[in-house]
Chains A and B, each alone.
Chain A
Amino acid sequence: MASLPTAVKVLSIKIFMKNILFALATIVAFALLNSCTKVIDINLNEADPKLVIEAELLSGTQDFTVKITKTSDFFNPGQPVTVADAAVFLNKGTDASLHLTNDGNGIYSLKNFTATENTVYLLSVTAEGKTYEASDFLPKNVPLDSLSVSASANNPFHTSGADSFQIILNYQDPIADLNFYRIKSTVNGIPRSGGENLLVIEDRYSAGAYFTLPIFTDSYELNDSVNVELVSMSHAMYDYFTTLALLVDGSGSAAPTNPSGNWSGGALGYFGAFSVSKKSILVR
């Protein structure tokens, strides 16, 4: 078989270590007799709403959108409060600032914007009398050669039925520099949710290897039409998504913290500049 990238090892073991205690304690308790989980009512403080700015700038030509919302009470089921009347500007080096139009509902956009690789972009947001800034480096795209399907036998990281399948990404990692990736998938038009869609890896231990990388945090059924994106990102974004993934997997860290994004001024969220390579496959 093709050699597995050691990057997989580093990341998967981290996830494993993170979850091991909680999972095993529960299993031990089940095995020893009885344990149970239940949804409980709990009183949580209502923190002062904080600004959340999420912006993903993708390489190539497309609409660039920025979403500005506020944090809400934890058990509030409604849609988040959106922020109107913000002034949003995108900068590239010494070029003139581009003003994003306010589309309402907290969405600000730049239609048909062309973002170029190997470039640092700066986004600035002025909302409610305060200015927030973030910059990110848009890395060179790493093309995805192909996707393949294999039976997923005993995947220790993702419990699944006997008839499930795994999808493997095949691509050449560039030898030159450190690369950071996020792998996203959409099944039959519906994006995966939660931790399944937050697989991030780095090539620190295997720069320049040919990757045959299984999406081991997920599994797929027969006849699923799967669309996979290999997203190249900066080191800062990799750190952001790593902490986010650990936070949403629900394993109960002793000291959970907010992922620290790249916004100055203390806004939550992130401004990421990504280059994306896409492929589709039908599971059969």
Chain B
Amino acid sequence: MHNFLNSCLAALFILLFLPNISAQNFTINGTLKDASNGEDLIGATVVVKEMPGIGTAANTYGFYSLTLPKGEYTLLFRYIGLETTEQKITLDRDLRLDKELASETGMTIAEVVIKSGKDNKNVSKNEMSVTKLDPKDIENIPVIFGEKDIIKTLQLTPGVKSAGDGNAGFYVRGGAIDQNLILLDEAPVYNASHLLGFFSVFNSDALKDVTLYKGSMPAEFGGRGSSVLDIKMKDGNNKKFNASGGLGVISSRLTLEGPIQKDEGSFIISARRTYADIFSNLSKKESIRGTKLYFYDLNAKANYRLSEKDRLFLSGYFGRDVLGLSGFGLDWGNYTATLRWNHLFSDRLFSNTSAIVSNYDYQFGIGVTGFDFKVKAAIDDINLKQDFTFFPNAHNTIKFGLNFINHTFQPTSLDAGEFSSFNDSKTEQRFAYEGGAYAQNDWKISERLGLQYGVRYSFFDYHGKGTAYTFDEDGVKTSEKFYKKGESIQFYGGFEPRLGLKFQIDESSSFKGGVSRNMQFMHLLTNATTASPTDLWVPSSNNVKPQIVDQVSVGYFRNFSDNMFEASIETYYKSLQNQIDYRNGADLTFNAEYEGALTYGKGTAYGAEFYLKKNKGRLTGWVGYTLSRSLRKFEDINKGDFYPAKQDRIHDLSIVAIYKLHKHLTVSATWVFYTGDASTFPSGKYTVAGVQTPYYTERNGYRFPNYHRLDLGVTLLGKQRKNFESSWNFSVFNAYGRQNAYSITFRENEDDHSKTEAVQTTLFSIIPAVTYNFKFK
């Protein structure tokens, strides 16, 4: 069966893509790993020295496969930050070649070592609109409370904007927060923030690779409109046991990793807990003392090689926030689990099968006599994926696969306590199937020309059991109908083309373009100004159409001074259909008929992103500047004219500088500036019911003051011993104490009711922090 499938596919693709294939071809394949810890090297490249432009890249699991005519070749194995390894081969039969690449200071065996490989991937790869982060690289960047955070580092790159002061929510190219598909080991994470957004749920100690796709996403991803943030957890050191961790002002971390069986399997467990409530208990404010306020998360992963051709991975995340004030408590969190099976059907056909569960829920309860109740809401996913990577020849890498998700939505419902006099009020669950099938080819047409093309078919089936409602144009319910279990209420499906084209002008510069369509079937309803744990994920339905985002982007990429500097200019234009907003006075909680409170419109977003990065030398860092607009148009808002979305920040500038003063001492600084958020302020007032009432004339017609902030950091490495290393990290967030606006509200003056005033709340002034990091190895 395997062989049959294999040969069918091979025949198909060879016919399709390379009719001139010669008779004598052989395949080299294998896995690329980091020699120091055995971690798979995602995206490491294999290049044939004799054939410029010919080569391949390792997939997510470090697997590569390269098919070449019979002959003698020199292969170069490359990965940024590791030594490039060269190996001569005689290809007269299929070859298995697993490689471990050593770090630049390490020692290598037998092979010739070439220092500083050609790091021009950003120029030479077919893909564009991609930001990659190595969690190791963010260690020196100062962040709030000294908690290094990949999402906050991403916010410093062009095209990505923070959802607010110290906030881990983000906007990509003018899209909304819910248009980001956030995947942790393939499992969607529905609420990626802790402590009301001040931290992301990702503990960077446990992460290996972070890739953000801002446009022309590979066809394997679907389900969100604006971006894909693909996060891979570490596999764990399969060479030896390690314990590392850190003690910080508000949190501590501990990571244990080691081999299950040397070189065959490993595990990693990483835990983190905050203790911010220590501060609240020191507060002079009585209302704040006694506050419970913490979060914890746990990442765990294990992998084992069953055979030369089979490998098993099990990974999971569990995180929870707990917040308690006198009289009530709120807690929320995500959990995900992913079981994956890698299988090699042949030396050119790689398969991965995943079974995934994802969950997000929140609950809050009030324990005061007479008010005791619990409110809950949740979203549950069971997700199956089958992905193939096929390497027909040195010019093409084909990916294809299937995905199926079973969604269960539990809208806010009320559970009364045993002794409560309230009645339970459970809102109907909602059900949906989501799925997709895709095929994509990464085609190196010539040394200069590359094309990544693919298509994805996505569908969504909103089904019973449940009640579906219809509404008239004013949002008044006109009918309701009950559907049986499994009976389809509404089906949506459509094709999403994805295209990326590269033209390499010379060794150090290229021109790229991309086109993509993304459909989104799930939507986050929020009436608050930033991401809140009580936001509600809802499915597309007979009333809520899928969001469709089309994007065209073009860019010019150029490296200077032997790849010391990377520079790029990317421009994009996006058209957004079926965007969601709320009718006047919309009420979403405990409202089974919330769809009547929604209104639909369209949007447009466009911009230019400028990026200059210095990769080498004592001074490293980047400057990112984005000039962009993000506009929306709804028939019943602002008379149907375009108006700025909240995240319509015209100018957005980030400067990151890291300077290595001494072998043991690194200083760093970041400065950010952006145009204030668009916001709705009153343009007048009047008195009714004895209250001074603001009078609003237009949506988002005003701006918050411009935002800017400087953060500073110092990293001091302790003595590096054979079995132990340590470092101190000092940081100051908002070093010059800029009072940035978190909110601006309008109210009556408390002492003189005839007066009205505008009140600005600033969350964070100067915040110093210190963290001590250690590693036993």
Give residues of chain B (229-270) contacting chain A, Cβ–Cβ below 8 Å.
Answer: 250
Bound form: Cα–Cα A127–B686 in Å: 17
A222 contacts the other chain (Cβ, under 8 Å)? Answer: no
Write the chain B residue with the least CB distance to A191. Answer: B690
Render A30-51 as a binary contact track against B, CB cut-off 8 A, 1 for contact. 1111111111111011110110
- Cβ–Cβ contact B760 & A28, under 8 A: no
B755 contacts the other chain (Cβ, under 8 Å)? Answer: yes
Q: Which of A34, A76, A255 has the most chain B CB within a 10 Å cutoff?
A: A255
Choose from B326, B590, B748 the contact partner of A13 (Cβ within 8 Å): B590
- Cβ–Cβ contact A31 & B288, under 8 A: yes
B341 contacts the other chain (Cβ, under 8 Å)? Answer: no
Contact A21:B327 (CB < 8 A) given known A31-B276, A37-B762, A193-B690:
no
In the assembled complex, the CB of A70 is this many whole angstroms from the nearest CB of chain B, namely: 8
In the assembled complex, the CB of B735 is this many whole angstroms from the nearest CB of chain A, namely: 14
Give residues of chain A (68-83) contacting chain B, Cβ–Cβ below 8 Å.
Answer: 69-80
B765 contacts across to A, CB distance below 8 A: 33-36
A78 contacts across to B, CB distance below 8 A: 754
Bound form: Cα–Cα A135–B119 in Å: 74
Render B330-343 as a binary contact track against A, CB cut-off 8 A, 1 for contact. 10000000000000
- Cβ–Cβ contact B697 & A247, under 8 A: no
- Cβ–Cβ contact B327 & A154, under 8 A: yes
Give residues of chain B (410-434) contacting chain A, Cβ–Cβ below 8 Å.
Answer: 414, 421-423, 425
- Cβ–Cβ contact B587 & A69, under 8 A: no
B110 contacts the other chain (Cβ, under 8 Å)? Answer: no
Give residues of chain B (680-731) contacting chain A, Cβ–Cβ below 8 Å.
Answer: 680-697, 699, 701-702
Bound form: Cα–Cα A230–B766 in Å: 49
Give residues of chain B (279-328) contacting chain A, Cβ–Cβ below 8 Å.
Answer: 279-280, 283, 285, 287-288, 291, 293, 323, 325-328
B763 contacts the other chain (Cβ, under 8 Å)? Answer: yes
Write the chain B residue with the least CB distance to A261. Answer: B688
Q: Which of A13, A77, A198, A246 has the most chain B CB within a 10 Å cutoff?
A: A13
B16 contacts the other chain (Cβ, under 8 Å)? Answer: no
Bound form: Cα–Cα A250–B283 in Å: 25
In the assembled complex, the CB of A79 is this many whole angstroms from the nearest CB of chain B, namely: 8
- Cβ–Cβ contact A69 & B687, under 8 A: yes
B615 contacts the other chain (Cβ, under 8 Å)? Answer: no
Contact A31:B279 (CB < 8 A) given known A50-B684, A72-B684:
yes
B467 contacts the other chain (Cβ, under 8 Å)? Answer: no
In the assembled complex, the CB of B738 is this many whole angstroms from the nearest CB of chain A, namely: 12
Bound form: Cα–Cα A127–B747 in Å: 30
Choose from B198, B371, B421, B742 the contact partner of A32 (Cβ within 8 Å): B198
- Cβ–Cβ contact B690 & A197, under 8 A: yes
A120 contacts the other chain (Cβ, under 8 Å)? Answer: no
Bound form: Cα–Cα A33–B701 in Å: 33
In the assembled complex, the CB of A236 is this many whole angstroms from the nearest CB of chain B, namely: 12
Bound form: Cα–Cα A25–B753 in Å: 27
- Cβ–Cβ contact A71 & B695, under 8 A: yes
- Cβ–Cβ contact A257 & B585, under 8 A: yes
B762 contacts across to A, CB distance below 8 A: 35-38
Bound form: Cα–Cα A150–B526 in Å: 36
Bound form: Cα–Cα A191–B760 in Å: 28
Bound form: Cα–Cα A95–B761 in Å: 55
A49 contacts across to B, CB distance below 8 A: 684
- Cβ–Cβ contact B685 & A72, under 8 A: yes
Render A238-256 as a binary contact track against B, CB cut-off 8 A, 1 for contact. 0101111011101111111
Choose from A12, A21, A25 the contact partner of B534 (Cβ within 8 Å): A21
B373 contacts the other chain (Cβ, under 8 Å)? Answer: yes
- Cβ–Cβ contact A46 & B748, under 8 A: no
B161 contacts across to A, CB distance below 8 A: none
In the assembled complex, the CB of B731 is this many whole angstroms from the nearest CB of chain A, namely: 13
Contact A13:B589 (CB < 8 A) given known A45-B683, A191-B690, A250-B746:
yes
In the assembled complex, the CB of B200 is this many whole angstroms from the nearest CB of chain A, namely: 15
A227 contacts the other chain (Cβ, under 8 Å)? Answer: no
Bound form: Cα–Cα A197–B692 in Å: 13
- Cβ–Cβ contact A39 & B691, under 8 A: no
- Cβ–Cβ contact A6 & B291, under 8 A: no
B589 contacts across to A, CB distance below 8 A: 13-14, 17
- Cβ–Cβ contact A155 & B694, under 8 A: no
- Cβ–Cβ contact B330 & A24, under 8 A: yes
Contact A268:B688 (CB < 8 A) given known A21-B529, A21-B530, A31-B280:
yes
B743 contacts the other chain (Cβ, under 8 Å)? Answer: yes
Q: Which stretch in B60-68, B220-228, B362-370 binds the other chain? A: B362-370
- Cβ–Cβ contact A260 & B585, under 8 A: yes
In the assembled complex, the CB of A140 is this many whole angstroms from the nearest CB of chain B, namely: 22
In the assembled complex, the CB of B100 is this many whole angstroms from the nearest CB of chain A, namely: 43
In the assembled complex, the CB of A202 is this many whole angstroms from the nearest CB of chain B, namely: 12
- Cβ–Cβ contact A74 & B684, under 8 A: yes
- Cβ–Cβ contact A38 & B759, under 8 A: yes
- Cβ–Cβ contact A9 & B746, under 8 A: no
A30 contacts across to B, CB distance below 8 A: 280, 283, 285, 288
Contact A74:B694 (CB < 8 A) given known A34-B764, A254-B529, A269-B688:
yes
Contact A248:B422 (CB < 8 A) given known A49-B684, A194-B748:
no
Choose from A26, A214, A254 the contact partner of B370 (Cβ within 8 Å): A214
In the assembled complex, the CB of A231 is this many whole angstroms from the nearest CB of chain B, namely: 11
A175 contacts across to B, CB distance below 8 A: none
Bound form: Cα–Cα A79–B693 in Å: 13
B327 contacts across to A, CB distance below 8 A: 154-156
Contact A154:B283 (CB < 8 A) given known A45-B683, A46-B684:
no
- Cβ–Cβ contact B683 & A74, under 8 A: yes
B532 contacts the other chain (Cβ, under 8 Å)? Answer: yes
B515 contacts the other chain (Cβ, under 8 Å)? Answer: no
- Cβ–Cβ contact B293 & A28, under 8 A: yes
- Cβ–Cβ contact A52 & B686, under 8 A: yes
Give residues of chain B (522-538) contacting chain A, Cβ–Cβ below 8 Å.
Answer: 526-530, 532, 534
Bound form: Cα–Cα A262–B532 in Å: 33
- Cβ–Cβ contact A37 & B529, under 8 A: no
- Cβ–Cβ contact B680 & A255, under 8 A: yes
In the assembled complex, the CB of B286 is this many whole angstroms from the nearest CB of chain A, namely: 10
B587 contacts across to A, CB distance below 8 A: 14, 242
- Cβ–Cβ contact B755 & A77, under 8 A: yes
- Cβ–Cβ contact B425 & A205, under 8 A: yes
In the assembled complex, the CB of B281 is this many whole angstroms from the nearest CB of chain A, namely: 9
B371 contacts across to A, CB distance below 8 A: 4, 12, 156
Choose from A33, A197, A214, A258 the contact partner of B279 (Cβ within 8 Å): A33
Write the chain A residue with the least CB distance to B755. Answer: A77
Give residues of chain A (175-206) contacting chain B, Cβ–Cβ below 8 Å.
Answer: 191, 193-194, 197-198, 205
- Cβ–Cβ contact A239 & B696, under 8 A: no
In the assembled complex, the CB of B340 is this many whole angstroms from the nearest CB of chain A, namely: 36
B691 contacts across to A, CB distance below 8 A: 193-194, 197-198, 244, 248
A98 contacts the other chain (Cβ, under 8 Å)? Answer: no
Render B510-526 as a binary contact track against A, CB cut-off 8 A, 1 for contact. 00000000000000001
A191 contacts across to B, CB distance below 8 A: 690
Bound form: Cα–Cα A247–B584 in Å: 11
Bound form: Cα–Cα A3–B416 in Å: 13
A198 contacts across to B, CB distance below 8 A: 689, 691
Give residues of chain B (85-130) contacting chain A, Cβ–Cβ below 8 Å.
Answer: none
A28 contacts across to B, CB distance below 8 A: 195-196, 198, 276, 293, 323
A1 contacts the other chain (Cβ, under 8 Å)? Answer: yes
Write the chain A residue with the least CB distance to B282. Answer: A31
Taking A54-B687, A79-B754, A258-B696 as known contacts, 18 extra A-B pairs with beta carbons closer than 8 A to each other, sorted by chain A number, are A20-B330, A25-B530, A28-B198, A32-B279, A36-B761, A44-B758, A76-B685, A77-B752, A78-B754, A153-B368, A156-B371, A197-B690, A243-B584, A250-B747, A254-B526, A255-B582, A257-B696, A258-B584
What 10 A-B pairs have minimum CB-CB distances, sorted nearest first?
A31-B280, A47-B683, A71-B684, A154-B327, A29-B763, A243-B585, A257-B584, A21-B532, A3-B421, A21-B528
17 chain-A/chain-B pairs, Cβ below 8 angstroms: A1-B421, A4-B421, A6-B423, A14-B587, A20-B330, A21-B528, A21-B534, A28-B323, A35-B762, A39-B759, A76-B685, A77-B755, A191-B690, A242-B587, A250-B747, A258-B695, A258-B696
